[in-house]
Amino acid sequence: MLRTSASRVLDDSDRDEVLALLDTDPVANVFVASRVRSVGLHPARLGGQMWGFGPRGALVSLCYAGANLVPINAGREAVHAFAERARKQGRRCSSIVGPAEAVGWLWERLEPHWGRARAIRWAQPVMATSARPPVPADPLVRRVRPEEFETLLPACVAMFTEEVGVSPNLGDGGALYRTRVSELIRIGRSYARIEGGRVVFKAEIGAVTPQACQIQGVWVHPDLRGRGYAVAGMAAVVEAALDCFAPLVTLYVNDFNHSARAVYRRVGFREVDTFMSVLF
């Protein structure tokens, strides 16, 4: 029997129990649940490890430890166990992200060992909707076609750089990011309004489970902001998400991004939780 004060690395034999725990909060856990449903728990496929807190058959909490460190249903005791494992392993992630309270506790324990963060987003409202948008959708927003990859990519890079504060082309020259952009196009989860070879609006559905899907990468060309493209574009993407992917659509946004929050509220989103992100 596992000591309740310890964590352990999970594997595919734990998949059903992990999914049952993830499904207790399909909005907060949509990113991790999508990964587990797609590839299972083997680290080579998952792109990291899944840590569990609690004995087999009675898991209490999880922590996805990949490119992001993501605590799930983690109280103080679980956070302590996950922080100890993360401290001993050393920082391998580019961010810690998840429910604000658990991320705050994790960072409190890890900061003395990992050093200063590049940026901290203390409050990121999590928003969700299950209703058709109350505003007209942009009829020119559609799925991006594979041959439009090179047209879309600069907009994706600009969005990432603006949002995160660093270019996704650093490190590996952007190879991993290009692969992700291409994959979302290939599976029909990249949407945009493209006019004359220019991306006017774009967004992706980055994670999908049977319960929920998550919109990410929302961006309007800087020269065209303030003209209503974001509201109409988001309405189109929400309609597509509800029609094609899941009965609940979610996203999270920085609390200081008042214009984006106003757009999402106009499209029908409501705030349901708060995330926090620590960026390295």
The answer to whether residues 173 and 264 belong to one domain is: yes
Task: Say yes or no to pLDDT of 100 above 70.
Answer: yes
Q: Compute CA 69 distance to the chain's CA centroid, rounded to the nearest angstrom.
A: 12
Distance between CA 258 and CA 271 in Å, rounded? 13
* b/e 81-115 (16+ beta carbons within 10 angstroms → b): bbbebbeeeeeebbbbbbbbebbebbbebbeeebe
Tokens of 85: 């494992």
In the predicted structure, residue 2 carries a pLDDT above the cut 90 = no
> What's the mean pLDDT when you consider all of the chain?
96
pLDDT tens digit string along 220-279? 999 999 999 999 999 999 999 999 999 999 999 999 999 999 999 999 999 999 999 999
pLDDT greater than 80 at residue 20: yes
Among residues 116, 132, 164, which one ends one of the domains? 116
Q: Are residues 153 and 264 in the same domain?
A: yes
Q: Are residues 153 and 198 in the same domain?
A: yes
- Written as six digits, the tokens of 136 are 């007209």
Query: Do residues 237 and 205 touch, judged by C-beta distance below 8 A?
Result: yes
- Number of domains within the chain: 2
Q: Considering the domain boundaries, does residue 122 fall inside one? A: no
Are residues 147 and 197 part of one domain?
A: yes
* 172: Cα separation from own chain's centroid: 21
Model pTM?
0.93
Residues 101 and 150 in one domain: no
Residue 37 lies in a domain: yes
Separation CA 65–CA 86 (nearest Å) = 8
The per-residue pLDDT for range 178-199, each reduced to its tens digit, is 999 999 999 999 999 999 999 9
Q: Are residues 152 and 108 in the same domain?
A: no
Asked whether residue 78 is domain-assigned, the answer is yes
Tens digit of pLDDT for each residue in 28-76? 999 999 999 999 999 999 999 999 999 888 999 999 999 999 999 999 9
The tokens describing 15, both together, are 């998949």
Tell me the residue range of the domain where 254 lies.
142-272
Which CATH number characterizes residue 225's domain? 3.40.630.30
What is the full DSSP assignment across 55-112?
-TT---EEEEESSEEEEES--HHHHHHHHHHHHHH----SEEEEEHHHHHHHHHHHHH
Residue 22 has pLDDT above 90, yes or no: yes
Is the CA virtual torsion 71, 73, 74, 76 positive or negative? positive
The DSSP code for 249 is E
pLDDT of residue 6: 86
- Is 107 found in the same domain as 149? no
Three-state secondary structure call for residue 200 = strand
In a domain, 58, yes or no: yes
Q: How confident is the model at residue 142 (pLDDT cuts 50, 70, 90)?
A: very high
pLDDT, tens digit, 9 for 90 and up, residues 186-237: 999 999 999 999 999 999 999 999 999 999 999 999 999 999 999 999 999 9
Residue 17 in any domain: the answer is yes
146 and 263, same domain (yes or no) = yes
Q: Last residue of some domain: 67, 99, 116?
A: 116
Summarised one tens digit per residue, pLDDT across range 118-135 is 999 999 999 999 999 999
Q: SS3 of 125, please?
A: strand
Domain membership flag for residue 15 = yes
Same domain, 215 and 151: yes
Per-residue confidence (pLDDT) for residue 263, from 0 to 100: 98
- Indicate if 27 and 112 belong to the same structural domain: yes
* 74 and 163 fall within a common domain: no
pLDDT of residue 3: 46
The pLDDT value given to residue 171: 82
Query: Which strand (E) or helix (H) includes residue 264?
Result: helix 258-267
Distances (CA, A) of 226 to 151, 198, 220, 221, 260: 23, 17, 9, 10, 11
**Residue 222 belongs to some domain of the structure:** yes
The enclosing domain of 89 has a CATH number of 3.40.630
Whether residue 214 sits in one domain with residue 260:
yes
Identify the band that residue 5 occupies on the pLDDT scale cut at 50, 70 and 90.
low
Residue 123 belongs to a domain: no
The last residue of a domain, from among 116, 150, 172? 116
